Amino acid sequence: MQKILINCIIYGVLWFMENFSIVLAVCRSALQNPTDALKRHVERLVKALEKQGSADQASALAKLLSGADQGGKIVPSRVVLSRQALVGEVMPLSILPPVDKETGASLATVLLPSNLKAIEPPILNESLQAAINSLTDEWVHLDRLKEAGIKPPLNCLIFGAPGTGKTKLAHVVASNLDLPLVTARLDGLISSFLGTTARNIATLFEFANRYRCILLLDEFDAVAKIRDDPHEVGEIKRVVNTLLQCLDERSSTGFTIAITNHEQLLDSAIWRRFDARIFVPKPDAISRQRIVDKYLEALNVNSVERSFLAWLTEGHSGAEIETLSNALKRHYVMRGDTEFSLIEALRLNVHLSADHVNSARRKLFLSDHEALARVLIEDTDFNFKQNELAQFFHRDPSIISRWLKRSKTA
């Protein structure tokens, strides 16, 4: 079989040198399990290329051959094995993303693994993190699943409220797999010209399928949203059908992650295409505490104040906690270490984050410290102690004790 394949390559494909990348990809996957006969045939191909003056192509194939000769000497990592289990070429460092043929707008941005290394993972609750780890593990051990004849799930849909760390999570998955991340640019993809959106989607998937990479469809609902336009019925059908076809084709080719804040807008047929569907909720009390600790690491804020911030930010997304932390850091820098007061900084911040003014916890904080102390002492997530509250409110412990007693007698 391999002999026939190589003969075809020698006598047929040489005439179509613009398709040499396909020849290279076929040889690369064939040489992952090299036999002596296969290597001889590839050597013949190298010689044939040299003879006809295609030195670059000959040298690329010769490199593959020398790599195959070293096979067995170096034990590749699991991530390398996983990448080899994917079809497609290795993405060149100088890759240019695909473009809209009419407008020239980029259809995607490409981040190479070296650009993804510094990304820190979002802080997620324990059970969600465990589930994501298990999915990533399957992707890292793709070769093992394939050997066992099990079709691994290669795509997943991540959904949840804005600012919960979904995009960051996708970047971290790509970094863990050491694969380039191709992020669709929906502004370039969606075109007002009839038929162009569907064609752009097909071009994007073709690009992603050619290389070993993760395809990220961020803000995925934008494609679904065009359904809102009553004049666009035919076009939408075309777009959704193309998307379905492309997703089906890609499901056995490479990893796809789609992200949305509006999962209810997705066509049910598209929704069903995803083997894994991950809901990223707003952070729970423990995660909020970890997020506050992370973002306020550099600030001289004691542990009671941090716990209070974690309590106060119930219902906030990770991004909102990050924004609040940045505001506190700015305040800290302006006031200096001795002048900084967390309570004062939070009061000022209320007007800078007006969307949260109606939070019951914020209202309590702004209106009545005595009532606040009573709520805090009864909170089972953070278990504030009386002496901690005294420290937080800058009051004598006896005053806190009086506040709390008053609540019992009231």
Ligand X SMILES: Nc1ncnc2c1ncn2[C@@H]1O[C@H](COP(=O)(O)OP(=O)(O)OP(=O)(O)O)[C@@H](O)[C@H]1O
Q: Residues in the site for Mg ion, rule: CB under 5 A?
A: 167
DSSP letter (8 states) at residue 368: -
**173 lies in the site for ligand X, by CB under 6 A:** no
From the list 372, 358, 362, the residue with the least C-alpha distance to 400 is: 372
How many residues bind to ligand X according to rule CB under 6 A?
17
Specify the residue, 20 or 274, whose C-beta has the smaller distance to Mg ion. 274
Strand partners, 276: 156
Q: What angle do CA 338, 341, 344 make, to 5 degrees?
A: 145
**166 lies in the site for ligand X, by CB under 6 A:** yes
Cα-to-chain-centroid distance, residue 299: 29
Query: Residue 178: which of ligand X, Mg ion, none does it interact with, CB under 5 to 8 A by kind?
Result: none
Q: Is-contact 1 36, C-beta < 8 A? A: no
Query: Residue 175: which of Mg ion, ligand X, none does it interact with, CB under 5 to 8 A by kind?
Result: none
Which position among 39, 141, 144, 168 is part of the footprint of ligand X (CB under 6 A)? 168
Residues in 14-53 at the binding interface with ligand X, rule: CB under 6 A: none
CB of 291 to Mg ion, least distance (A): 17
R_g over Cα of the chain: 28
Contacts of 44 (CB under 8 A, 6+ apart): 6, 10
CB of 282 to ligand X, least distance (A): 9
Q: Is-contact 155 256, C-beta < 8 A? A: yes
**245 lies in the site for ligand X, by CB under 6 A:** no
Query: Residue 319: which of Mg ion, ligand X, none does it interact with, CB under 5 to 8 A by kind?
Result: ligand X
Residues in 280-309 at the binding interface with ligand X, rule: CB under 6 A: 283, 291
Specify the residue, 136 or 167, whose C-beta has the smaller distance to Mg ion. 167
Specify the residue, 187 or 229, whose C-beta has the smaller distance to Mg ion. 187
**Residue whose C-beta lies closest to Mg ion:** 167
**315 lies in the site for ligand X, by CB under 6 A:** no
Which position among 9, 123, 186, 312 is part of the footprint of ligand X (CB under 6 A)? 123
Which position among 29, 167, 245, 391 is part of the footprint of ligand X (CB under 6 A)? 167
DSSP letter (8 states) at residue 176: H
Helix and strand element counts for the chain (H, E): 22, 6
- Most distant CA pair in the chain: distance in Å? 99
Residues in the chain: 410
Contacts of 172 (CB under 8 A, 6+ apart): 116, 119, 120, 121, 122
Q: Is-contact 286 293, C-beta < 8 A? A: no
**Residue whose C-beta lies closest to ligand X:** 318
Where b means 16+ CB within 10 Å and e means fewer, 372-402 reads bbbbbbeeeebebeeebbbbbbebeeeebee
Which position among 57, 164, 197, 325 is part of the footprint of ligand X (CB under 6 A)? 164
CB of 250 to ligand X, least distance (A): 22
Residues in 260-279 at the binding interface with ligand X, rule: CB under 6 A: 261
**221 lies in the site for ligand X, by CB under 6 A:** no
**313 lies in the site for ligand X, by CB under 6 A:** no
Binding site for ligand X (CB under 6 A): 122-124, 162-168, 261, 283, 291, 317-319, 322
